[in-house]
């Protein structure tokens, strides 16, 4: 066996409508309509156009246990490439801040320039651009370069 690519991510969310607005309206992901929405539970799927769906949200209700803070086992964050230039990353940062998104960090990772935000349920998302030229293609070890402050 050989993994070809990461196919999709499924997140439990407290409030499907709130999360739909975040991923569709703020992050600009295309929502995939579910014919008749008769799948047996409240859910929404999104795609960038690369494949059938890359994100599935499943509503579990407002009383669901929150994500624990601090070091824990499980997902730390997931990354979404949002462009190719620092100009696009700056524009994204400004739009996110204006919309009241929770910006929790930034970093220059040598291979990427990254913003870190949280979705309405506290899932951390890395929004990034690949530094050009694509350093990681010639130097795979650059993936482990020590993060530096991001200067946008």
Q: Which residues pair with 46 in a beta bridge?
A: 31, 55
Q: What angle do CA 116, 121, 123 make, to 5 degrees?
A: 35
Q: What is the dihedral of CA 94, 99, 105, 111, to 10 degrees?
A: -50
Yes or no: say if 145 and 139 are a contact pair by the CB < 8 Å rule.
Answer: no
Cα–Cα dist 64/49, whole Å: 31
pLDDT in tens, 123-147: 999 999 999 878 888 888 999 999 9
Q: Beta strand 55-59 with 112-118: parallel, antiparallel or unpaired?
A: unpaired
pLDDT in 10s for each residue of the chain, 152 residues: 999 999 999 999 999 999 999 999 999 999 997 655 567 889 999 999 999 999 999 999 999 999 999 999 999 999 999 999 999 999 999 999 999 999 999 999 999 999 999 999 999 999 999 998 788 888 889 999 999 999 99
Domains of the chain: 9-59 (3.10.180.10), 78-144 (3.10.180.10)
Mean pLDDT estimate for the chain: 93
């Amino acid at each position: 066996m050989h993994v070809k690519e990461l196919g999709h991510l499924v997140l439990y969310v407290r409030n499907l409508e709130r999360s739909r607005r975040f991923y569709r309206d703020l992050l600009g992901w295309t929502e995939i309509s579910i014919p008749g929405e008769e799948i047996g539970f409240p859910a929404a799927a999104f795609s960038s156009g690369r494949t059938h769906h890359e994100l599935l949200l499943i509503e579990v209700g407002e009383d669901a246990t929150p994500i624990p803070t601090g070091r824990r086992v499980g997902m730390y964050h997931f990354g979404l490439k949002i462009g190719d230039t620092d100009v696009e990353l700056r524009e994204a940062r400004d739009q996110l801040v204006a919309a009241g998104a929770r910006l929790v960090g930034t970093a220059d990772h040598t291979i990427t320039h990254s913003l870190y935000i949280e979705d309405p349920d506290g899932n951390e998302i890395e929004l990034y651009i690949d530094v050009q030229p694509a350093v990681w293609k010639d130097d795979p070890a650059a993936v482990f370069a020590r993060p530096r402050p991001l200067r946008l």
